[in-house]
Amino acid sequence: MTFGQLPYDIAHLLGGAMLLLSFVLLYQRRVQAVINAFAWQGGVLALAAAWQGAMQGAPELYLTAVIAFVAKAVLIPLALRVIVRRMNLHRSVETALGIGASMMAGVAVVALAILVVLPITAGARAIAREDLALALSVVLLGMLMMITRRNAISQVVGLMSLENGLVLAAVGVAGMPLVVELSTAALVLVVFVVAGVFVFQIRERFDSVDTAALESHRGEGAGDGWRGEGASEAPRGGGQP
Amino acid sequence: MLTALSLVIGGLLLLGLAAVPLARRPAGVRVVHGGCVVACLLLVVLAAWALLAGGGGVLALPFGPPWGRALLALDGLSAWFLLLLGVTGAIASLYAMAHPAAQPGAVPPFPLFLAGMAMAVVAADAFTLMFGFELMSLASWALVAADHQQAENRRAARLYLMMAALSAACLVPAFGLLAGHAGGFSFAALRAAPPTGWLAGGVLLLGLLGAGGKAGLAPLHVWLPLAHPAAPSHVSALMSGAMTKVALYVLARLLLDLCGPAQPLWWGVPLLVVGACTAVLGALRANLEDDTKVLLACSTIENVGLIAIGLGLALAFRGADLGPLAALAAGAALLHALNHGVFKTLLFLVAGSVLHSAGSRRIDRLGGLIHAMPVTAGCALVGIAAAASLPPLSGFASEWLLLQALLAGWRTGDIGFQVLAAAGTALAAMAAALAAAAMVRLFGLVFLGRPRTPRGAGAHEVGRLERWALIIPAGLTLLLGLLPGPLLGLAQPALVALLGPAAMAPARGFALLGGNGEVAAWYLPLALLLVLLVAGLLVALAVRARSPLETRRGPVWNCGFINPPDFLPFGDPLSQPTAGGIAQPLRRMLGTSLLGAREAVDMPRPGETRAAGYTASFADPAFGWLVLPAARLRDAVAAQCEKLRDFTIRRCLSLGFGTLLALLALLAWLEAH
């Protein structure tokens, strides 16, 4: 199976689409658009998993595809939308790192991923190699998104997108046990719940989901009262002396 | 035999585990230490058997590091140091049986400490050796830190741990360099591929830093005077008597055995120079300290220096192809290691008994103990005379051999080395004289004179078991002093392991033989004992003949002071010399330049009513030049690292991301090449 054969080309196309959506995620500055792009990425991931299932003759991958679609393309984006609506973040625009700079960094990261993966997997099947390179790129772009954003919701989306890359790598390799995928999916849901709770807590205390607001409350100086005192402590906006 | 040996070591390890529940009650502590006595006696038997009958091959244990199996072997060198370990360990454990009042935390690490030392000594591959060495270091750290309620003990334990880590950080690369060159970790593989060029130089430097730091060679000796007083007495005895020797064993194994016999003459020079400086520094500090255990630790530094001189000379003579002289120097080093191990164990145990009975380690609070503790005083006298290298005791025999080897240094033919050997002779002789002065000061102030405190006056003789723990090493010190010839004959396999099959022990029958046959120099301890006995008898008879009257006790002349009043039952404290007072001449002569000693008299002006004061202090140069800069460096690095904690969340994430990217880039670069 190599270039020019339909199964390979479609798998390649789906992986490439995920990478493209990662770039879209990196490009978007509006929170709603970010959530949309993330939902699209989840959908493409479900398609990729289903296609791999058909190709490898592995029925359990269909289950993975269903889970990915339900969780990542429907439930999580819906929940994120609810959060955004409740917090009235429809119009928020953020500028942590310039678009041009983050695009260039993204391209460099993808080049690095390809440089690393292709020589290592010289003996493996072509499809596994491409898949791994694409998946690693998606993972790295997810991390890049986490560090270029200030908004807590965007950071959560970056983490989810990173996990999408991991699932893409997992479905591309024949013989990955279903248990691993199921547990990964469960893990992601837990992470999402925790992250959502955190976002609400941050918002409640600091009137903003900008994580920079947290930074004045770190450290062990006399000024920080909120560590260990629980929720009854009134939020302090002034920061450390 | 090796199977029995591995079983003994395994038994000690199990004893360490069993000691955790047993340490709660005195009977259990006694059982643990009794088990240690039995294990050490077994080690002595096995070592003596190996020395007499040959050790036999290599035992591969059924477990080990991931790439192979742990190897044990008992060649001559291992057996000699195992003998030393067994003897000192048995004595120290016997003493510990008599003293179940020790900290409960100090019980479980003790068998582990013994097991670690035994494992390091009998290992036949680098991994097992380092494993045993580190077990020894960690267990002894736990023992030093056992009494961690006091801040000075915590400080000592921290410094000790840092020094142990430094030793490991030097020894692991040293063995790594050798193993990388040889392609294997077993001693046989290492021996087959001796290093050359810069590789050999690196091994020499790292070995000297790693094993020398653990042994107490200058300038890495700073931990000894701090760690020894912090540990319980039987542990400091073992640390001084056995652990420093295990480090010297590693040094000898690494430099003389594993690096092959073809190393050049200059290889001995670093050991010779460092050893001579260590010996003088240790002996001088021993004269200035006023704490019995610190004083003994400084004397250990001096003796380790002397042994290092012997090893360095052996290396140099072997490089100059002077086989008999190399055997002389190596024999001196081995014999002194054993002798020092026994008498220093004795002296530390005496210091422990004095601490227990008279309540203090400080010389200025002791005094006159010969009346209250006659047996202890007698045993202490034997140990102190040996440490002062008086004939016919054990210290004299080995130091005589060492000086013979040093005096033969001119035979190498290299003018630079001849000068160094001459200077080394002078320094070694000076160290021996200084050590004698320190020992006289110790005995005179602690056991003679009058008690200096009420607590000291209430001292009592030690119990029966403890008494035996002192009498046995005292008897051994006498015996080793009288029979150095047969002992060196026993050490013949160790010399062969160090110097090759042609090495002959410098002994004939009961005599020690200096020079290499052409320059005849003999030391016959039995004949000397006879001469001393006859001379003593003659003097006694002459005295008796000259003064036929009965001996009478007269009033003590107290240096012109009037008799003390009734409210000073122990005499006027000012009419007895103090530790600082006796140290003053040497402090002024040598301490000012070498140890930065200072004195200050604080005299009140006329009309002022406060008392005059006198303060004297000194500082070890290694602290100022080595430890304090290292501490400052540590603080600077820690301050830099502390800045990482102030990073924002995004910068923390970026740090991880950047590291990941750098590693991936490194991977890509490695693949491209």
More confident residue, B303 or B3: B303
What would the pLDDT profile of B110-165 be if each residue is shown by its tens digit?
A: 999 999 999 999 999 999 999 999 999 999 999 998 888 888 889 999 999 999 99
Most confident residue range from A206-210, B192-196, B441-445: B441-445
Strand B507-508 relative to strand B511-514: parallel, antiparallel, unpaired? antiparallel
pLDDT of residue B643: 84
Chain-chain contact of A147 with B654 (C-beta, under 8 angstroms): yes
Closest alpha carbon within chain B to A122: B671
What would the pLDDT profile of A71-118 be if each residue is shown by its tens digit?
A: 888 888 898 888 888 877 766 666 667 788 888 999 999 999 988 887
More confident residue, B509 or B270: B270
The predicted model scores a pTM of 0.79
Report the residue from B645, B653, B668 with minimal CB separation from A115. B668
Chain-chain contact of A120 with B671 (C-beta, under 8 angstroms): yes
Across residues B292-304, what is the average pLDDT? 95
Which residue from B515, B524, B528 is spatially nearest to B485, judged by alpha carbons? B524
More confident residue, A210 or B328: B328
Does B83 score more than 70 pLDDT? yes
Q: Which residues have C-beta within 8 Å of that of residue B383, sequence separation ≥ 6?
A: B343, B344, B346, B347, B350, B473, B474, B477
- Average the pLDDT over each of B300-314, B566-580, B588-602, B610-624 and give the range with the smallest value: B566-580
DSSP-H helix ranges across B105-257: 109-122, 126-144, 151-182, 187-192, 197-215, 224-230, 233-238, 244-252
Most distant CA atoms of chain B, gap in Å: 102
Chain-chain contact of A147 with B657 (C-beta, under 8 angstroms): yes
Across residues A122-127, what is the average pLDDT? 67
Does B388 score more than 80 pLDDT? yes
Chain-chain contact of B660 with A143 (C-beta, under 8 angstroms): yes
Substitution target in A141, A145, A215, A216 with the highest count of B β-carbons within 10 Å is A215
- Residue whose token pair is 């009037």: B562
Give the separation between CA A142 and CA A122, rounded to whole angstroms. Answer: 26
- Domain map (residue ranges) of chain A: 6-91+98-214
Strand B613-617 relative to strand B521-523: parallel, antiparallel, unpaired? unpaired
Closest Cα in chain A, distance from residue B183 (Å): 28
Radius of gyration, CA atoms only, chain A: 20
Give the separation between CA B172 and CA B176, rounded to whole angstroms. Answer: 6
Size of interface A-B (CB pairs under 8 A): 42
Asked if B291 contacts B366 with a C-beta cutoff of 8 angstroms, the reply is no
pLDDT range class, residue A43, cuts 50, 70, 90: very high
pLDDT range class, residue A238, cuts 50, 70, 90: very low
DSSP-H helix ranges across chain A: 6-27, 31-56, 60-68, 76-87, 99-120, 126-148, 152-172, 178-206, 212-215
What would the pLDDT profile of B512-559 be if each residue is shown by its tens digit?
A: 877 655 656 788 888 889 999 999 999 999 988 888 777 777 776 666
pLDDT of residue B409: 86
Average pLDDT of the residues of chain B: 89
Give the CA distances from residue A73 to residues A20, B234, B348, in Å, rounded to whole numbers and listed in that order.
16, 72, 77
Asked if A236 contacts A227 with a C-beta cutoff of 8 angstroms, the reply is no
What would the pLDDT profile of B8-66 be if each residue is shown by its tens digit?
A: 999 999 999 988 888 888 888 889 999 999 999 999 999 999 999 877 788 888 888 87
Most confident residue range from A53-62, A206-215, B490-499: B490-499
Chain-chain contact of B661 with A116 (C-beta, under 8 angstroms): no
Q: Which residues of A touch B657 (CB under 8 A)?
A: 143-144, 147
B670 CB near a chain A CB, below 8 Å?
no
Chain-chain contact of B672 with A119 (C-beta, under 8 angstroms): yes
Does A232 score more than 50 pLDDT? no
pLDDT range class, residue A223, cuts 50, 70, 90: very low
Chain-chain contact of A214 with B645 (C-beta, under 8 angstroms): no
